[in-house]
Structure 1
């Protein structure tokens, strides 16, 4: 059976809903049918990605339920919250390319359903007496939630025109990121009402939500034929210098966000002696603010250029790390929390601006090629293909920053009994990212292949 919002543009069947004709840069097409379809896919993508982030970060909440009777020290808990980051980072690459293999809608259904595995597994083993190795395996399996982000962002990137990508990608990512503070708030509510001995309530809440997310994706999302089986985009993207530059910057922004999200509660417990309830009462604030502000990072990048927003943002992150170090020296919990929350806010803003830079970089390259006589349709299609692949790579490598942050905290507390050495390393890294952003994208003497066209494209 064939039905269509635009003549012969969509196919519906057992294998899924496929749209064959998609021209987001064509203003007439966009106004007539494109905007409606793209926005519908965006909202249901957010639902699935939101649940994915919650499951990815669930061990940052579960460790707050693990009292002395579990026999796991602070170092072990930092490992438990770090392992999902590692697994999720690795999975982001195959997840991003799964969109091309299976279709965005189809893979959203599959990836949402896979979240049932770590959730049910954790519900079975979450009690005192379980071995640390079993907890480690359960935490690793939760990494599947981290892969959802890459496939979701790759998929949504293909639906929107360049001028709207910053806001759309920011909304998609921000709505997903909010899954972190939401599950932390749910955990806080459970600890405050049922006590720290009831972690299975948290898991029981999310099992039906996962099913709902998969069903909604099946009923409301679409696949785009233009991105299917595009394996060449990956090979091209890994040869691109910009892929690795953007990966470094995304380690600084998203790596900070997810790493701090997983570690915040444990840092408060170990550095300031907070109880699980006291830690849970504030840990959600930073991830919530960082998630809400992420779309505005994309929107600001749409208006002023992602490179400028990213540049000033890294300066702000370095200053915020300095505030945390000052608060630590003063033994001021209030100032420490404020500085940490600022780190979350600016990491969220930077997430939006750096992701906006990726499609703008390749859109700028396309414009240069078109001006030199290349076919416009082919150049723009290549820009969408490559930017989608680069988004997957950058998302995977950037998420590794979360693992580095948790390992840095673990080593810092084991050796110095404080998080200060870790924060000094973060501050130094933000300074490096500031310099790289300026040298590659902003300095007047930058090569024409990066500075002029990229600045014109809104990078």
Structure 2
């Protein structure tokens, strides 16, 4: 029946293809959150930066990521995800081109602090790819019914988020083999290639295809329901942002996301290469490998995290995972040895990965009429947490010296505990509302 309906309306694509093209776009775009983190120690030494200034450079890609996630995530509700994806990836290509050009022209002999403003500019431009997260999340949601949202978003975010981890390892290896400038050129070529693949194969869900063919909103939703899709946009960017902003639960999810991913996972993905290099005295390749393990593991674990969310409920899973985060952060605070720090890193990565899946699994449940807008607020405002946390980690280093690399994790102990309590309160409140509704 569904195949006949697709053929009748000349619809193309499948949820599977929609999921994996979104995942590819996220994989490529999200690599830009470690635009400088992959070689943070090298930039710190060459430019003569303090811990706080290094934090600002490392967080520069996160500025555009945070700002652009709001409008671009909501824009999906109006035009679908493909166009926003391509614009963001195009900006990242321009930013990475700028950085690569500066490296070829000035590194190493003339690569000094005078280039810091330009590096910040290209970092901000290149970081636009990080905003693809809130584009791909609603784009993926609109391909799947509500009872498969945890699975779909878990796969999307789980495999898409390993991009920074892969780059955290690959780029340091390439730096050792072909040099810093050539390594960044290789990264640029990969980003261009991935963008071309996405442009060719990606497509928006049936609802958007039907709208482009002239179907009314009501008719497009009706046909979409017949094709087992029951999550639809509110219709316009402004309306989607307005609806989601007026829902207080959106802002609760914003805060939870800012700690689990926006100011948590992405901050540590950029910070860990420097942490392992300068605190544990590891070479850049080994530090990149260990940081990559964190990013890839914390990303892939989102897949079972999504399944847990579907089975047990996002609030319960979130409360438990934030508790795990707090334990991992506490281990990192108290540890200066490699093995105990490594274990702490894996524990906090476990909590962050599962929490990420739980938070976004709650979006269609709490804001079903404006998934795109909610994703924009959550990813944008929540993503701004990185702009605070990375410089804050650098501040601990400036204040306490070498041991500050460990003490800085107290920030995550406090915030993770608070998020766990908020998740429990969400669960209690939701049960109360359901009871009153009955």
1:183: Cα distance to partner? 0.7
Report how many residues are paired: 400
Which runs of structure 2 are paired with 1:193-342 in the superposition (5 Å)? 193-194=177-178, 198-223=179-204, 224=208, 225=211, 227=233, 229-254=236-261, 255-327=263-335, 331-342=336-347
How far does residue 49 in structure 1 lie from its aligned partner after superposition? 1.1
Deviation at 1:7, TM superposition (A): 5.2
Residues 390-409 of structure 1 correspond to what in structure 2 (within 5 A)?
390-409=374-393
Shift of 1:300: 0.6
Q: SS where residue 140 of structure 2 aligns?
A: helix
Q: After TM superposition, give the deviation of residue 101 of structure 1 in Å.
A: 4.0
Structure 2 residue 163 is matched with structure 1 residue 174: no
Counterpart CA distance in 2 for 1:107 and 1:37 is 20
> Residues 52 and 392 of structure 2 are in contact (CA less than 8 Å); yes or no, is this contact kept in structure 1?
no
Q: Cα distance 1:247–1:285, how it changes in 2: closer, same or farther (>3 A)?
A: same
**Displacement, 1:317?**
0.9
Q: Distance in 1 between matches of 2:9 and 2:341?
A: 55
Cα distance in 2 between the residues matched to 1:220 and 1:119: 24
Alpha-carbon distance between aligned partners in 2 of 1:230 and 1:139, rounded to the nearest angstrom: 27
Change (3 A) 1:38 1:78: same
Confirm or deny that 1:191 pairs with 2:175: yes
What is the aligned partner in structure 2 of residue 354 from structure 1? 359
Secondary structure of the 2:6 match is coil
Secondary structure class of the residue paired with 2:36:
helix
CA distance in 2, matches of 1:288, 1:452: 43
SS of alignment partner, residue 261 of structure 1: helix
Aligned pair partner of 1:93 in 38, 47, 70: 70
The answer as to whether partners of 2:333 and 2:407 remain within 8 angstroms in 1 is no
Other-structure match for 2:96: 119
After superposition, the CA RMSD in angstroms is 2.4
Give the Cα–Cα distance (whole angstroms) in 2 for the partners of residues 208 and 190 of structure 1: 14
- Structure-1-length-normalised TM-score: 0.81
Q: Does structure 2 retain, via aligned residues, the 8 Å contact 1:260–1:344?
A: no
Q: Which moved more, 1:96-105 or 1:390-399?
A: 96-105
String of CA shifts for 1:16-61, please: whole Å, max 9, x gaps: xxx6xxxxxxxxxxxxx9xx61111111111111110112322111
Query: Is the Cα–Cα contact under 8 Å of residues 237 and 390 in structure 1 kept in the other structure?
Result: yes
**Contact conserved, 2:319 with 2:423, CA < 8 A, in 1?**
yes
Counterpart mapping for 1:71-110 below 5 A: 71-110=48-87
Secondary structure of the structure 2 residue equivalent to 1:66? helix
Q: Find the residue that maps to 2:376 and give its secondary structure.
A: helix
Residues 169 and 234 from structure 1, CA distance in 2 versus in 1: closer, same or farther, beyond 3 angstroms? same
State whether residues 106 and 218 of structure 1, in contact with CA within 8 Å, keep that contact through their aligned partners in structure 2. no
Match of 1:442 among 413, 416, 428: 428
Query: Do 1:294 and 1:352's aligned partners in 2 also have CA atoms closer than 8 Å?
Result: yes
Aligned to 1:387: 371
Asked if 1 retains the 8 angstrom alpha-carbon contact of 2:93 and 2:126, the reply is no
